[in-house]
Each structure stands twice: as C-alpha cells, then as structure tokens.
Amino acid sequence: KQEVTQIPAALSVPEGENLVLNCSFTDSAIYNLQWFRQDPGKGLTSLLLIQSSQREQTSGRLNASLDKSSGRSTLYIAASQPGDSATYLCAVLNAGNMLTFGGGTRLMVKP
Amino acid sequence: DVKVTQSSRYLVKRTGEKVFLECVQDMDHENMFWYRQDPGLGLRLIYFSYDVKMKEKGDIPEGYSVSREKKERFSLILESASTNQTSMYLCASSGAGTTDTQYFGPGTRLTVL
C-alpha cells in the first residue's frame, strides 16, 4: 500500500527566505505527483502537477521536482512571503485513479 | 474556472440521524471523490465515482454510502450518523486522464452530537 510522508510537519521562516518542503513515497509506480495548498478551514488548491515522466514543474516562485526512482519530491518556494503561510500537501496518483496524500507541512512565514 | 460546490459549510447533526452531503461540479468531469480530513490522520478517501451510477470504495467506506445519478452531482450519505464521523468532508472532481488534477470544494465541517 502506498504511503506518503512529508517532512517537516511544521516550518516557520522569516519573510524573504527560500525554503524546501520534502515529500517521499514508498511505491514508485505512480502516474503523477501533485502539490496542493490548503488554507485553514478551506479546501485544497492545486499548485503543481508533475507527470511520472517529468523531472520538474515551475509556476512563478514555486518549483517542484520529482525523482521517481528514489521516491522523492521537493517543493521549492523562492523569496517566501507571509501570504505563503498555509499547509502544503503532496499526493501521488496510483493505479485506480486514487490519490494518496501525505500528512502535510504547515508553513508560517513571519513578516 | 472550475467550480466545485458543497451544499453546506457547517452542519450539526444528532447521533442516529441520516445525513446527506452534496457536491456539484460544473466542468463535466468524469471523476468525483469524497474525502474526510482529520487532525493527525490527514486526508482519506471514502468513495469515488468514475461515471454516473458507478462507484468505488476508498480507504474508509464503512458507515458511508454514495449516490451519483447525474454526472455533475455526487452525494455522500451517512445512514446513521455517529460521533466518530465528526470531521471535515471534502469533495473533489477531475477529468479521467493522468494529467488531470483534482479540484476541491470548500469543505463541509460536520459535527455529530
């Protein structure tokens, strides 16, 4: 059974720092990996989707990489801002069209 | 823009009541999903549907059923609500391909007393 782990569980940084969130998964037979953002009490918003054949995707200040063979992904956030404060979730798509989610990293960016 | 709406943001029910949570999407998506989210346990899939009248069990289907009579609407039913079903419920929809991301609704926070 696929398991997804995110480290760290929580992170607090000063505004302007570059930061990296980590995600690891146990079964490399994935179709894609996705990063989501969740604000408190709200639903999830898709940030980036990396196909299993791709190595990375970029959107603005966000860059996600995927190393399928080692079961790892990172989400890099450049020049962090207070508005980036949220929980970041990674999820992998397996056969059967089901997403398996990690536990999330709660990010606080302090002004 | 894709829109996924859920019938209620907050709901309070009594133990033993029958509860309906409704989800509607406006993008003609084939797939629809129901998750619950609990502190320390993360997001867990309850059921999903890949077509009208079709459903598949997720990780935690016990105590729940679903209905998809129309493509745009996916309902989650708690036949007899219990206190351990107090949770945040999230609906999502997506296209059928592996390049399609899931779009989430705002969530329903259900409290069962």
Task: Return the residue in A25, A36, A97, A106 with the most chain B beta carbons within 10 A, the one to mutate for interface testing.
Answer: A97
pLDDT tens per residue, range B46-56: 999 999 999 99
Calculate the dihedral angle through the C-alpha atoms of A52, A57, A63, A69, rounding to the nearest 10 degrees.
Answer: 20
pLDDT < 50: residue spans in chain A? none
pLDDT tens per residue, range A14-37: 999 999 999 999 999 999 999 999
R_g over Cα of chain A: 13
Task: Return the residue in A3, A39, A44 with the most chain B beta carbons within 10 A, the one to mutate for interface testing.
Answer: A44
- Sequence length of chain A is 111
Give the DSSP per-residue string, A52-63.
TT-SEEEETTEE
Q: Which residue has the tokens 């860059």?
A: A63
Looking at CA atoms only, how far is residue A93 from chain B in angstroms?
8
| Mean per-residue pLDDT, B85-113 | 92
A69, A27 in Cβ contact below 8 A?
no
Both structure tokens of A30: 């994935």
Which chain A residues touch B90 with a CB distance below 8 Å? 43-44
Q: Say if the Cβ atoms of B42 and A43 lie within 8 Å.
A: no
